[in-house]
Amino acid sequence: MELVCPAGTPAALRAAVDAGAHCIYCGFADETNARNFPGLNFSRTELTEAVGYAHARGAKVLVAINTFPTAGREALWHSAVADAERAGADAVILADLGLLAYAAEHHPDLRRHLSVQAAAANPDAINFYATAFDVRRVVLPRVLSVEEITAINREIDVETEVFVFGGLCVMAEGRCSLSSYATGRSPNMNGVCSPPEHVDYATEGNDSVARLGGFTIHRTPKGGAAPYPTLCKGCFTSGDKTGHVFEDAVSLDASALVPRLAQAGVTALKIEGRQRSKAYVAQIVRAFRAVTDALDARRAPPALALARLSEGQAATTGAYAKTWR
């Protein structure tokens, strides 16, 4: 199986390649990608150099251009596709219909993957993108169980890639406006979710409070620091219930499911975390590479001790287990 690893910086990309990543995904330093964070991502020159570094070591580079272009400013996204091809990228990861159509027409030889942001959650959706835009691989949304992924792979001809580790969206990706409702900035339009410039931490009485756009997302007793106020991981009240209405402060760890995902016909395993450090990336990549190598050699994969690398120190297998729903 192919291991697809995140890189927010050229240094992280080199660390991932050196740690054994088969494939690295990254983006340009602007709102054309869904991890548009300050200090992150690649210039055109950096991407060209990074592709050279990866290719020389047998690794591929995928460029995520997976936000939805703004009306009147599509040229920024169009030039990102052209620049990715010029830099020698092995594929672009796209979500927007219009941008897929543009890339298929103007860059037919540049391989197209469908981003998780397109949330193609059934064989009809995947076959639609494959037929209309010759998409070769689909990153599956995190709403599907392993059984459903198996069934999907029986009905499609394109490759599938699934998330196995890192941050976890509980909503169908690319179809969530919670962040813009609270802050005016969203993953789809701006490549950010619950953005830091709208975050406010305060100490009030005995509590530490984390707010997003003025809405209280966490309130923890003094001594415990309030976690980062990612909207869907917040603690809220509904009627007589108070708690994590949408999702607990957990992140995804499907490392134990890798053999089943391989049986389900999955081609590639994706690790989330372009915002994470190069040391983190290297550690996760090495751990997962041991798993894929074992599978390729038909050995039992090692159990991974990744718990301390998970956000919030707690992990879930998310929608891969049907009971999560």
Partner 1 sequence: MDLTIAPNPFFWNAEFVRSFYAGLAEAPVARVVLGELVCSKRLPFWQDEIPQAIAALQAAGKEVALTSLALITLKRERKLTADLLGLGLPVEVNDLSALHHIPEGIPFWVGPLVNVYNEGTLRWLARRGAKRICLPPELPMASVAVLAGVAQAEGVALEVWGHGRLPLAISGRCYHARLHERAKDSCQFVCDQDPDGRDVDTLEGQSFLAVNGVQTLSQAYACMADHAARLQQMGISALRLQPQSTGFDAICADYAQLLAGDMTSGALISRLSAAHPDMPFCDGFGHDGAGANWRGKAVLV
Residue 217 contacts partner 1 per CB under 8 A:
yes
Judged by CB under 8 A, the chain residues 94 through 123 that form the site for partner 1 are 95-99, 101-102, 118-123
| 55, 219, 260, 286: which one binds partner 1 (CB under 8 A) | 219
Torsions phi, psi of 125, nearest 5? -65, -45
Q: What gap in Å lies between CA 318 and CA 321, rounded to an integer? A: 6
Residues contacting partner 1: total by CB under 8 A: 68
Q: What gap in Å lies between CA 217 and CA 199, rounded to an integer? A: 10
Q: Candidates 10-18, 82-90, 186-194, 309-317: pick the segment binding partner 1 (CB under 8 A).
A: 186-194
| 4, 65, 170, 282: which one binds partner 1 (CB under 8 A) | 170
CA atoms 108, 117, 194, 283: torsion sign: negative
Q: What gap in Å lies between CA 184 and CA 179, rounded to an integer? A: 7
Residue 71 contacts partner 1 per CB under 8 A:
yes
Residue 31 contacts partner 1 per CB under 8 A:
no
| 17, 23, 91, 144: which one binds partner 1 (CB under 8 A) | 144
Q: Cα angle vertex 156, ends 154, 157, to 5°? A: 110
Torsions phi, psi of 232, nearest 5? -75, -5
Q: What gap in Å lies between CA 195 and CA 178, rounded to an integer? A: 12
Residue 163 contacts partner 1 per CB under 8 A:
no
Q: Single out the residue of 308, 296, 317, 263 nearest to residue 22, CA to CA.
A: 296
The least distance separating partner 1 from the CB of residue 105, rounded to whole angstroms, comes to 10
The least distance separating partner 1 from the CB of residue 104, rounded to whole angstroms, comes to 10
Residue 151 contacts partner 1 per CB under 8 A:
yes
**What DSSP state is assigned to residue 31?**
T
Q: What gap in Å lies between CA 268 and CA 232, rounded to an integer? A: 27
Q: Which is nearer to partner 1, 95 or 269 (CB)?
A: 95
Residues that bind partner 1 (CB under 8 A): 68-72, 74, 95-99, 101-102, 118-125, 127-128, 141-144, 148, 151, 170-172, 174-178, 180-184, 186, 188-189, 213-217, 219, 232, 234-239, 241-242, 245-247, 319, 322-325
